[in-house]
Amino acid sequence: MHPQCDDHASITRRHFVKASLAPAALAFPAARATEPRPIRHKYDQPPEIIDTNVHLFPWPFRRLKYAETQPLIQKLQSHRITRAWAGSFEALLHKQLDAANRRLFEECRDQAPGVLIPFGTVNPAWPHWEDDLRRCHEHYHMPGIRLYPAYHGYGLDHPEFLRLMDATARRGMLLQIAIRMEDERVHHPGLIAPAVDSAPLPQLHSQVPAARIQLLNADTVFRSPHLRPLIERTTTTFDIAALEGDGGISRLIAGTQPNYTGQVPVDRLLFGSHAPFFPCESALLKLFESPLDRPQLDAITHANARSLIP
């Protein structure tokens, strides 16, 4: 099967698997995946991939494969992931968030400058969160921050969250919100962190329309009655890490996924793997198993991300 010769051509499954999945699955050297080959059409090459949802450092509750930065980078690059927006697992439980943010910044700078893009964390329920935000923006030059409300003890109806939305909008920063980090059924019994309720977001966004928000691991939102207001009344975007079901991406775009409550336009979806908590191959397979045309694939893998952070 060959790509069509128009702007709606689909990348062939053979090319997608060979370029993005086979190198790691078959233990090919990384260089093998990047060897040049003749280009018959502008869509013959696999797309660039920007991963908007990875974390560095150890997960607090169990050891993960690729918890070390260099092996994680090598894993991502073996699948043609050229850039990754990185948060820090340390930010979930550490009280000194600036120390965690500084370590994240230094790790990204020293291990993979230009590949790992650091996203620090602030807690609007704690005093002086404005100082943490200022340092993230002015000292560490982070393009956005990543929040963990379930682990930091506040909801999106907290009055300081609205101030944080406004502060990030004024600084031109992207605001990522982790709706959940793992299934509540396997949480450590000493720390139960329920999925974040997104219900307040449409009203809050109307007060700060310039805010740019991305929800991570948002499968509970896709199943909730709050999905439609988020799509119709906000510019909220989502990553694909927690999507479920065969052909889940295309079904979500079409609004035909039976256990979801609506449809999400393709321009609201971004590639995110939730690595190393999830294998990054999981997100790649979601792309492979959905019948997406090439413009849709490009939008999800990199174009939508570049519209948020050039």
Q: From the first residue on, what is the mean pLDDT of each consecutive set of 10 residues in the chain (310 residues)?
A: 41 53 40 45 75 97 94 96 98 95 98 97 97 98 98 96 98 98 82 92 97 97 96 98 92 94 97 97 94 96 96
Supply the pLDDT for residue 15: 55
User: Residue 243 phi/psi, 5° resolution?
Assistant: -60, 145
Report whether 143 contacts 182 (CB < 8 A): no
Supply the pLDDT for residue 252: 96
pTM of the model: 0.87
CA-to-CA distance for 258 and 220, rounded, in angstroms? 14
Neighbours of 119 (CB within 10 A): 30
Supply the pLDDT for residue 36: 47
Supply the pLDDT for residue 37: 46
Tokens of 3: 């790509």
User: Residue 223 phi/psi, 5° resolution?
Assistant: -95, 5
CA-to-CA distance for 234 and 219, rounded, in angstroms? 18
Task: Provide CB contacts within 8 A for 173, sequence distance 6+.
Answer: 136, 137, 142, 143, 144, 145, 212
